[in-house]
Amino acid sequence: MFGWGRSKKSVLASAEEPIGDLFEPLTPLSALDRLLPLYIKETDEGRLVYPACKRGLGDADGNVRAIWEHTRLEACRYVMMVPWRDVDLLVSAVRQAEMMDAFLRQAPHEETVAGFKGVPVVDYPVAIMAGLNWLDHCAFIGGVDPDKFSRTRRDFRRLVVLAQQWWAIENAGPRCYEMLANCQVPPLMFYLMWQSYTRLAKEIAIAAIYGSSLDRTIERPDKMQAALSALSETAARLKDASDPDDLVRR
């Protein structure tokens, strides 16, 4: 359930910039620290359409993989903006009960602008929720079926409740480290966030490329054949993809 137990070698933030080993939780967080400023610089200087869900087939990085990766980056930026970071709350087995209790105490909000108080255990829940709200916002822009995003916050909260129960089981800490050693994904808060953002960003990327982007391409007959060919090739791999890295040609 939730992919906790499926192994995966690595995840990517772009074809050129690997996030790193997913089973060393601090590694992807460090990679996000490096990649987010680069991505924001690209969008601020107009080299990439922002948000990614507005891109079409004719834009730079106007493909399913890039939109999927970059939409996830956009959602993750809130957590990376938390001041006075205490990343153990996200990745340390001994801090998960504290982190999940704090998240479940946090009143749901619909803001995509996070206001932080300088207390990490308070700010991380706000940031995670803001990331979910951003994905809701992108889904609306991208024309995703509303039914797929109608319970985003509620579903994530239920996921945290289930994870909280997992951590309450005796020897959950040693089991967590054993899972990491075996390249499995325990229910650390970082992984709950990452997997949820990944799944939702995929739906947004599919809608962006196979929906409004294709509609715009139909208006350009000279681009139509190439676009259909590229989409058909990607679709064959997209169905079973669980991460943007799965779409990178080997």
- Is the separation of the CB atoms in 203 and 143 below 8 Å? no
The dihedral over CA atoms of 17, 214, 231, 146, expressed in degrees to the nearest 10, equals 80
Q: Between these two residues, 24 and 52, which has the higher pLDDT value?
A: 52
What mean pLDDT is predicted for residues 14-35? Answer: 72
Q: Taking CA 17 as the corner, what is the angle to CA 13 and CA 23, rounded to the nearest 5 degrees?
A: 65
Q: Between these two residues, 217 and 90, which has the higher pLDDT value?
A: 90
Q: Which residues contact 8 (CB under 8 A, 6 or more apart)?
A: 22, 183, 185, 242, 243
Q: Between these two residues, 75 and 113, which has the higher pLDDT value?
A: 75
pLDDT (tens digit, 9 = 90+) per residue, 40-93? Answer: 999 999 999 999 999 988 899 998 999 999 999 999 999 999 998 899 999 999
Q: How does strand 18-20 pair with strand 11-12?
A: antiparallel
Residue 20's DSSP bridge partners are 11
